[in-house]
Every structure is written in structure tokens, then in C-alpha cells.
Structure 1
Amino acid sequence: MARAWTVRGGWDGHREEAALTDGLAIAGWSEVHPDLSHVKSVEELRSILKRCYRSEGRRTVDNWTHQLWRFVHQMQPGDLIVMPRKYQPVVALGKIVGDYEHRPGARPGFMHVRKVEWLKTVERAAIGADLRDSMGSFLTISELSRRDAATRIQTLADTGVDPGYAGAVTPPVDIKELLTDVSDSGTRLLSARDLIGLWGYSRRTTDAVESVNHELRDLGLTTDPDFTAVQLDDTVTVSAIETAEPNAAAATAHTPGSTSTSQDSDLTWRVGNLRRPESVMTIRRNDSLARAAEIMAAREFSQLPIVDDNRCLLGVITWESIAHSQLRPGALSLWEARADKWPPAAHVEEELFTRIPDIQKYGYIIVVDSANVVTRIITASDLAGELKTRVTPFTVLEEVERRLRIAFKKVPSADLASCFENNKKKAKSISAPEHLTMGNYPHLVAKEHIWNQLDWPFEQERWVERLKSVAQYRNQIAHWNVDAPESEQSQLIEAEELLNLLKIVTRHSGH
């Protein structure tokens, strides 16, 4: 079965025109002059690169070795090839029709080639985000091996349409497999959840982000988009930090659509961290104004993004702009009735709080990806709902603690201090419920004489379990994490149930 590969046209695109004009894939590496067709092993190729690039570190040489090995030995005639254009929003698609060739008479950087039949050029936006991200690696040569990549590229070459892939991404079983996949193919797709799960984390807390960033840096890996700037189940592309060939590093900071490496990530609340619907409704530029109004009325939308055939953002239609259009003479088209002013599009890695003024002013912002494809709309209502979801656990737990302090005022201080039987110094500091933490209450309720003092009409054992569970929940959310707390919904419900019971037993306490 044919495989699919990305081969870039140089760190500044300087090989692209020659590749397209001459029907070639050109590997680059201007210091590597020898014919590589006789190289029989990765180790032999690594030795050649070490001689050519004596000042480069081991990791960089290893990275370049694997890429050239792919180009010389792993690619086969009949395989598919893509070449993202550097300064154009398009990707050239082709088929390899020849073996590796060495051209000693060519200028440096153009000696290592393969003959290619270029088939089609498509817009980046026509390619699904997951496949586009795999192509987006800064590596010169990488394999597109997952999520039916080869079949999708063939369909793109035939029809200009990416059929997409609806299935889940199978994660690597461990860190070793992740490294092997990146080494073999150049990139590895997986979800942000599966990525942090390789290091035993399920939530992106401060400790988790710091630890995973440190581990990625030590392994020489980065993610795109940043693994902290997307939803937990969104895919990210893991690749090597080192770029593919000399001089490439100088260009990465200015590459259109490029994102920061995971080493720069933090726990800033980003646009991409907000929960989003499965899909966002849009309307095409040539659709009718009546259709837009019908959709907006039926769905109770205040606005609709206007997009092209690839869902790239062109403009916005709003009820306000529709109303203004009725004041103008003649029947207006959808495009003529679009809003004159609308907020600049947002990207997933932008800090959310910097975009709140736009949401306040316009009532919404539209989120696009690196190819300007619309991915979602964030409205003032969405933001309010998200804030409510994130704030509610803190208010519930604060009220639980307040009610517990009220309930335990009847318990003598000596009994309160009994939860520190093995720490006499700490026990002496306990004179009132205000000195206790949530973790202390399960120990106190488990004591028979204290339970009797409380005189609650409930089962003691069940209350110990309730308090332990809520105390654990309190410890979890004490540390900020970028993920919406859907996974903790059952714990929040248990905390709310505990609060309801506490309200009953403290109802006549005078507080």
C-alpha cells in the first residue's frame, strides 16, 4: 500500500519552484555532498552527517539522519508526497515516480532528489486540521502515517476534497513508543489527554504542565498546537524540537501559522480551553440573506460566520446588520448585508482574558485555526456559562466548610483537637472549628463520642465516606487546572448533596 510523505522546499521555500518546475522532491542538506544510495545503515548515514556537521549536537544529527534515511531508503515509487508552500496558503500534492538520485553537478542543497509527478495544488484550508497539523511540522521530511493519511491525500489529489477521519487517535502505549514513532515518522498524532497520560496525569494542573513540559524538553520534543491550549480530547502533533536542516531554526519564529513550543506554555486560560459544541454553524457567501435569517431565527443565533467553500472566515452576518440592510434601498445580498464591523478572529492559543473586551463590545468572537478555518464561536453567554461552571465548585465547597464550622461549634475544643492525636503541638493550636480543614472532619465524625454530640439523624459510616470524598475533591480543585471540570461533575454533585444535608442540620443554629 502506498505511503504518504511530507517533503518541504527549504527553510525559506527556496527549493519549491525548482521542485515543481523540474518534477522533483529535493531533500536539501547543502553540506552533504556524497552519493547516499550506497549507504546501507542508519549508523553509516549518521557518521556521514557527523563529518559534515561537526559543530551540531547528537540529537540534531540523529534527527537529520532519520529524515535523510526516509528520503533515500524508505520512500518508494508510487508513494504520495505533499509539499506545503512556504509563503502561500497552498499545498502541492504529487506521486513519487523514481528512486533516490544523487546529482553531483547540482548546486549545494539540490543534490539529493527523487522524481515526482505533481498532481494537484490544494488550499491548506481544504485539508482537515488533524492532517494539516501533521504536515505543519518544521521537519523537512516526515511521514504522514495515521488517520488514513495516504487515502485522504489520494482523495485530495483526485477531487480536491479531504474526506476526513472520524475515528479516535490510538495513543502510544508508553513514552518509548512515542519516541520511536517520532523517530520513525517524524511526527506523532495523539490527544492532549493521552499525551499527559503517558506521564500518569489526567488533568492539566500546574504540576502536570510543568512536569510534562520538562519531560518533553528533555526528550527533545514539542507539540503543535501547544498541549495546554486545546481541549483535552483534541489532537496535537508531537515532533522533534530541532528543525530538519541547517538554517531552518532561524525561520521557525516567523513561520505563518506557527505556534509556540510546549516549553513556553503555562496555565494561562486560553481561548482553546473553553468547551465547544461538536460543530459550528456557518453560511456560504453566495447563500441567500433569507436563508441566513431562517437559520439564525430557528437556532436562536445572534450571528453567523460567512465562509468560503473551505469554511475560511470571510465575514459575519448579525441581526443588527440585517436590520441596517432593511434601511437601504433595493434587495441586498447576504454579502452586502454583512456586518461592517466585527471582532478580529481569535486563535486557540490566545489568552482568553485579552479577548473579553471584544466579547463585551460585540457579544461574540469567532475562533479560527491556523488556516483561518472557523472552528467555533464564543458568545457572552458561553463565557458566562463557563465562568459559572468553574466558580460553582468553589462557592459550594466554601459553603460546605462554613456549615461544618457552624455544626461543630457544639463540639468541645479538646475533642476538636483529637484529630491531631499524634501531633501535640498542632493539637494545642486547635480551639475552634475555624482552625480545622476539610480533611480533619472525616476523622472527627468517625469518633463515636463526637458523632453522638452532633446528634445527626444519619448513618455515621456514610457521613465519614461523604466527608472523605468531598475533602479529596477540595484538595483537587485547590490547584488551578486549564480543563473544564466535566470529569469532576459527580464529585460536585456529591458536594452539593452534602451541602443540602448540612443546611438541614444547621437550619436552626441561628446562623
Structure 2
Amino acid sequence: MVRAWTVRGGQLGEREEQALDEGVAIAGWEEVGDLSGCESIAKLGEQLAQAYPGEAPGTVDNWKHQLWRFITMETGDLIVMPRKYLPLVAIGRLTGDYEYRGEEAPGFRHVRKVEWLRTQVERAAIGGDLRDSMGAFLTVSELSRRDAAHRVAVLAETGADPGYKGGIEPPAEPEALERDVQEAGTRQLTARDLIGLWGWQRRTGEVIDFVDQELAGRGLRVTPHFTEVQLDGLVTVSALESSGTTEVTQATSVSDALRMLTHNASEDLGRHWRIGSLPFVRDVVTVGHDEPLTRAITRMVEGDFSQLPVVNDHNVLRGVITWESIARAQLGRRSDTIAAALDPHPHTAQEQEELFVRIGDIQRHGFLIVTDGDNVVLGILTASDLTGQLRLRVEPFILLGEAERRLRRLTDHFTADELPTGSRVREARAKGKRLTLGQYPEVLKDDACWAKLGWPYEQDNMVQRVRIVKEYRNELAHWDVDAPEEKTEGLAATKQLLNLLKLIDHDPLP
């Protein structure tokens, strides 16, 4: 069975040209000698440890797995070399066994012969999931999931990615994630499945910090960060340490990684909210640069769009058409082409950007086109979309605040002596403190207090309603990155409670 591997050409791309010119794949690690005698991964690890005595055991372990992949890849396997400073990848087929070329310069001595089949595959022609797995920080990793080997073969033949529409089975536990990364170099899964490895279902600030620390403690990193995509968006997990001494100046320790990856609880919680956190429109209607302007106008009218991204054959953004740019072209009596009405500098954003930093741009310009690092169009976020999403996120807090205000007003007449004996609520009232939402069930379940309230409702039912709303409030208080409207039961319970309270609590007349 043919497999596919990524073999990078150096931190600065220094090995790429020689690899293409000589028909080879080249690994780094200039300090380690001939690996031909390494019959096991353990033996290879021993040789690495001798060559790099100052490196941490975790770093050496990471390197030995990469070099073991390199020397054991089978003839006929496919090799992918992403170009460092070009939007291209080269794809070839492995034709020879491992060789050690001692006469070459350090960092260029570990080689495998390759027949390069296609050296200028545009990165934009490759599906985002496959591009992400190719973009791991490792020198050598396997492209093993989502039909990767077949897709690489088609790319080598046609220059186009057939894509993958199926699902992806997540690892069963954090230890399985570690093993997958160790064996292949990377592991893709959804953000939902990633946090689910530790039993979480939603991305609160607490969960984000916890998962970050767990990943760093296991020597793992995730790209893009799992807060930068929607819950069902894909992320790629790889080893934390960069690989090879030609690739980095110094390996990153786990303690350093923890400082880099974890968030201080006192920092702005808005940093967890990213463009990618919002469910922006991904099925974007676009138009080609060479198409007639009438086609763009027709699509804008049909879809009631204010703008259309203009793209090339690989969905790379080339500009935008708006009603304003169309009017300017027609008033200027320019030709009726998209090129004549094109705004070549549209306002764009990437999923990892902080949402609140870009709100002003959305307000001013009406939209942001969401692109990836290769300027491929992923979606569009309009002011209307943003308004709707912010409403969904703000509404629960408004409703909760209103319900708590009315509960407070309905119970403010109780003195400390009238509240349940020995309770927290009596102690709080005696100190002149206001009751919290979590304390109202204590008041309502007390028979004497309930009788004094005289509400025309069932006591147990109201106590249960307030408890449900209290739990809902507690969940939201942890700054859930994911939309609160997904907690439909809690939101509905809050609305129902508020409606009941409004019937017995009337705002004073002006």
C-alpha cells in the first residue's frame, strides 16, 4: 500500500533547491552520522542521544521517530515537500533506500532518492485539511488520514485535489492522541473531539486553559488553535518541539511551552473570541476575474448580496465587486467587465484573528472576507451576520439580568428575621448584602417565605425553575466561546421564568 510523507526542506528552505536538482529528499540533523546500521528505533535513539548530549530526552524521542520514518519509508511511497517561501509544493515518488553522503555539507547528508513528478503544485489547489496536515512543524511526518495518500497521488497526476467529504474518527483518549502523533507525526481531529478527550463539551475559558496545559504537558501543539475554528472545524495536533538542529536554534521545553500556551486568568477574555468562533457563511458565492460584469450583477441581485468575492480557478481571492464599485465603473464609462469594476484591495480577515479587534472594520466596511494563509476564500462575515451573532450571545445575559432584578424586587421586603433560620440568605441580608440568583431557591422553598410571597404558582415548580436558570447562568459565567443559543433548554427556561415573574412584578408607572 502506497503511503504519503511530508519531508520539509529546512527551516529556511535551504535544502529545497538541491533536493529538486538532484532528485532526492534530504533530512537535517547534521551532528548525527550514518544511520544505515540502525536496525531499530531504539538503536537510532541511542545514536541521536550521543550526537546531541545537551538535548532533552523528549526532544531526542521526537527526533528519533522522525528519522526512523525517513529511513524506513518504502520505495514507491509519495513524498511531499512544501516550499518555504513559495505558494507551492513539490510531489515525488521515492525510488531509493536511505543513503548517507558523508562528503556533503552538514545538514545535507541523510538522503533518499526521489523522482519528482510535479514540482509546482499550487498550495491553493490543495484542500485546507490536507494543507494543514502538510504544514506541521516537523521535518518528516506521515499524511495518513482522510484519503491523504490517494489525494496526493491525484495531485501529482493532475495538480488538483479531489478532496474528502467523509468524517474522521477521533482517538479514544489523550494517550491515544499522543501515540498517533508519535507514530505519524500529526493527528487531525475536530475541536469538539479534542476537548472531548478530557470530557468537555464546550470551550469555556476554564476549559481552554485546561486543554492548553494538558497539550503542553504532553509535548503537543495544535494548529490552528482550537479556539480559532468552530466546534466541528478541524485542527492538527503535532509534537511541540520543532525538529532537527538545522530547523531550530533551541528546542522548546515543556515549561516554556506552558508559559507560551496557557492564558493568565486576569487577561482579557476577549482573546478567546476569534473570527473563526463565529458560524460565518462558508458557502460563498464568488465570481471569476474574467467573467462578464452582468453575471456578477445577476448573482448579487438573485442572492440579495452587497458584495461578491472575485477569485481565480483555485478560489484564491483577487478582489471584490460591490454595488459601489459597479456604479463607479459605469459612471466612469469603463468596460462592462469584472476587471473594470474590481476593488483589488478588499478587507479580509483570518480565522485566528481576535473578533473584537476587527468589529470596527466590519462596522465601517460592512463585511470582511475570511481567507486562510494562502488567501483562499473560506467565507464572508457581514455586519448583518455579526449583529445577529452578537444578539444571540448578548440576549441570554440580558434575560438573566432581568430575571434576577425582578426576583430581587419581589423579595426585597423580607427582613433578615423573616428569612430561613441558619441559612446563607439570612446571614447575607443581616450584613446588608443583596441576594444572588443562586440563593433565591433557599427563599422560595421555605414554606413561611412562600406563604408571605403569595405567588399564584406551584412552589416546587418555581423552586425548580430558578435552580435551572441558576445553573444556566453559571455555565454562561465561564465565558463560553461557543454560542449560548446552543443551550436551548437553559435559554427557554430563563424566558419562561421571566414571563412568570412579569405577571406578578409590575414596573412602576412613570
Which stretch shows the higher mean deviation, 400-409 or 365-374?
400-409
Q: Call closer, same or farther: CA 1:252–1:148 in 2, change over 3 Å.
A: farther
Which stretch shows the higher mean deviation, 101-110 or 488-497?
101-110
Separation in 2, partners of 1:341, 1:92: 30
SS at match of 1:435: coil
Q: Call closer, same or farther: CA 1:39–1:231 in 2, change over 3 Å.
A: same
Q: Deviations over 1:422-448 (max 9, x none)?
A: x5xx63331599721111122322233
Q: Call closer, same or farther: CA 1:218–1:244 in 2, change over 3 Å.
A: same
Matched, 1:414 2:412: no
2:59 corresponds to: 60
Separation in 2, partners of 1:211, 1:284: 45
- 1:34-183 paired onto structure 2 within 5 Å: 34=34, 36-73=35-72, 75-120=73-118, 121-183=120-182
SS at match of 1:115: strand
1:201 corresponds to: 200
Matched, 1:476 2:472: no
Amino acid paired to 1:95 = R
1:191 corresponds to: 190
Separation in 1, partners of 2:457, 2:25: 75
Q: CA RMSD in A?
A: 2.4
Q: Call closer, same or farther: CA 1:212–1:434 in 2, change over 3 Å.
A: same
- 1:385-424 paired onto structure 2 within 5 Å: 385-409=388-412, 411-418=414-421, 420-421=422-423
SS at match of 1:507: coil
1:11 corresponds to: 11
Amino acid paired to 2:29 = W
- 1:138-287 paired onto structure 2 within 5 Å: 138-250=137-249, 262-263=261-262, 267=269, 268=271, 269-287=273-291
Amino acid paired to 2:12 = D
- TM-score w.r.t. the length of structure 2 is 0.92
Q: Call closer, same or farther: CA 1:333–1:475 in 2, change over 3 Å.
A: same
Quote the offset at 1:199 in angstroms. 2.2
Matched, 1:503 2:502: yes
- The answer to whether the Cα contact below 8 Å between 1:410 and 1:453 also exists between their aligned partners in 2 is no
- The answer to whether the Cα contact below 8 Å between 2:107 and 2:246 also exists between their aligned partners in 1 is no
Separation in 2, partners of 1:486, 1:248: 45
Separation in 2, partners of 1:24, 1:504: 79
Structure 2 unaligned segments of length 5 or more: list them.
253-258
Percent identity, aligned pairs only, is: 50
Matched, 1:456 2:455: yes
SS at match of 2:341: coil
Separation in 2, partners of 1:83, 1:453: 77
Which stretch shows the higher mean deviation, 369-378 or 459-468?
459-468
SS at match of 1:315: strand
Q: Call closer, same or farther: CA 1:85–1:340 in 2, change over 3 Å.
A: closer
Quote the offset at 1:488 in angstroms. 1.4
SS at match of 1:494: helix
- The answer to whether the Cα contact below 8 Å between 2:282 and 2:380 also exists between their aligned partners in 1 is no
Matched, 1:305 2:309: yes
Quote the offset at 1:245 in angstroms. 0.7
- The answer to whether the Cα contact below 8 Å between 1:84 and 1:135 also exists between their aligned partners in 2 is yes
Q: How many positions carry a matched residue from both structures? A: 498
Amino acid paired to 2:226 = F
Matched, 1:380 2:383: yes
- 1:360-375 paired onto structure 2 within 5 Å: 360-375=363-378
Separation in 2, partners of 1:250, 1:356: 38
Quote the offset at 1:367 in angstroms. 1.2
- 1:296-375 paired onto structure 2 within 5 Å: 296-329=300-333, 331-339=335-343, 342-343=346-347, 345-375=348-378
Structure 1 unaligned segments of length 5 or more: list them.
254-259
1:292 corresponds to: 296
SS at match of 1:99: strand
Separation in 2, partners of 1:262, 1:315: 35
- The answer to whether the Cα contact below 8 Å between 1:242 and 1:249 also exists between their aligned partners in 2 is no
Separation in 2, partners of 1:444, 1:340: 64
Separation in 2, partners of 1:287, 1:250: 49
